[in-house]
A and B are shown apart, each in its own frame.
Chain A
């Protein structure tokens, strides 16, 4: 099957029949449900742009399995160039949608499982990697969007999975059969889950021997028997049912349309199981996934920053303050922060490396630094955007009041700006800034791909502090400095003895 277009992707979802609930009701047809439309459009953009000659360099790749042209979202990175194009794709899509386009979690899951299954097989002689390659081929051939489900509900965070009161707060194997496994448990916050063709699961943390059954990774169709989705609420979500203007970004929504996925005795055939008890590889899978995913945030969120910076500048101009020095300064500040994050994410890719599987991984230290910056800087540039836009972003009347003959005309006058700028356009822009800077997008930057503490742990682990200590010791003269000794042509002690002697002589001369 050739790569799908945006429209074809949305239509392809009609063939799946996932069990989805929202606001207490079963949603039969997700494609036609107005609440879900913006998220479908956001994901559709990842399909659509692959067909545009002006984006295909970034949006498509050559499959290492078939040599065929595929959507980059189904590709396993096989070089630095792939890693760089991946983050360029993230920024591009952030610019095009102003929100989360959802498909990167699955992409990172595919890559992380590819890398890890190879290493598991090397140690245990299993055949997970070959199985996974066959699955990947299916994903590429069908141009599927798999949701990446790593985060378990997790219950009491201080307890290991096997010690939880409710075993289902973590996804786990309940039974091993000849032809597959039976799994139960809950994955929370899963982006794009209801509008994905498939779900790929990964363990959420390092597991120990007693958590063997929780060390599980597999893929299943989204409408597999026993899988249930409960769609999450987002700030102001039902505004999209009130018309167009109030939603802020009615086309693509806000964040990624997350859902809780509940697995109840779901059968997974062995062919689709990629880890089943190899707890000693859970750290590798989690860290590899987290590395890829954290590096993305300096791409997609910077794409969003481009939109919000543009919006803030537009509003300042419309309000007649575009040339004010503090506004120019604030916009410059926003740009500098965004480009700092962009530099981080590019560096993750340029400093990537080849793994034993042949797939390329980003630089994990830099990826964690990128994401840590994002947990702060998104708040900061959104704060500055709110400063420029003014309090109206949270006090504007509704579209219905604008359309009401009793209040509409006076409201439009009251929200007008510079002469010649249509007041409705000003309101549209303010709503967009509200949508992006006030709501769910902020905690997404904080917790998506892991909370800040998780990044700090990884940064600390990978910082190579001992090497830094050696550097300091060498310069301080505690450790031998071979380069210095070569420069001065003698060992350090002799050198300093001579220097001291010279100083003494000079002093004596002066006296």
Chain B
């Protein structure tokens, strides 16, 4: 897979928000680690941050399951930013197996950059 964009001039920043993680169907922190690596491998300098106060370019919500506790709340507080929501084995409204989540996320992130 290739991204249509090369190295970016200023670092694109994604605010990562996690749900509480009570009974996750997916390994949420693994997803973020793998995403960071995946983006790096593609030559994309994207920063992933969990700092709430930082100005970001988009928000990635990582919910452990489809119920997506965080989604409704987060959309309010981060309103204005583009949002991608992982909801267990779903990304936004698409069913995705855990192993394919990173691929789909990179595609979506590329479409925002």
Task: Give me the interface of A with B, judged by CB distance under 8 Å.
Answer: 351-356, 363, 464, 467
Contact = CB atoms under 8 A, between A and B. Distances in A.
A356 B87 CA distance: 12
The 4 closest A-B pairs by CB, nearest first: A353-B66, A356-B93, A351-B67, A353-B67
A353 B24 contact: no
A363 B93 contact: no
B50 interface: no
Q: What class of interface size applies to chain B in its complex with A?
A: 10 to 19
Interface in B38-79: 65-68
A354 B24 CA distance: 17
A352 B67 contact: yes
Contacts of A363: 67
Nearest to B87: A353
19 contacts: A351-B65, A351-B67, A352-B67, A353-B65, A353-B66, A353-B67, A353-B68, A353-B87, A353-B90, A354-B66, A354-B68, A354-B93, A355-B93, A356-B93, A356-B94, A356-B95, A363-B67, A464-B25, A467-B24
Given A353-B90, A363-B67, A467-B25, 17 more contacts: A351-B65, A351-B67, A352-B67, A353-B65, A353-B66, A353-B67, A353-B68, A353-B87, A354-B66, A354-B68, A354-B93, A355-B93, A356-B93, A356-B94, A356-B95, A464-B25, A467-B24
Contacts of B67: 351-353, 363
Contacts of B65: 351, 353
Contacts of A352: 67
Interface string B89-103: 010011100000000
A464 B22 CA distance: 14
A357 to B, nearest CB: 8
A80 B50 CA distance: 28
Interface of B: 24-25, 65-68, 87, 90, 93-95
Of A354, A355, A356, A467, most buried by chain B (CB within 10 Å of CB) is A354
A351 B87 CA distance: 12
Contacts of B94: 356
B39 to A, nearest CB: 22
A468 to B, nearest CB: 10
A392 B42 CA distance: 78
A351 B68 CA distance: 9
A76 to B, nearest CB: 16
A356 B94 CA distance: 6
Of B65, B66, B68, B95, most buried by chain A (CB within 10 Å of CB) is B66
Nearest to A122: B94
B26 to A, nearest CB: 9
Nearest to B71: A354
Nearest to A364: B66
A464 B24 CA distance: 9
A467 B24 CA distance: 9
Nearest to A470: B27
Nearest to A355: B93
Nearest to B68: A353
A246 B93 CA distance: 54
A126 to B, nearest CB: 18
Contacts of B68: 353-354
A108 to B, nearest CB: 19
B99 to A, nearest CB: 12
A164 B94 CA distance: 37
Contacts of A355: 93
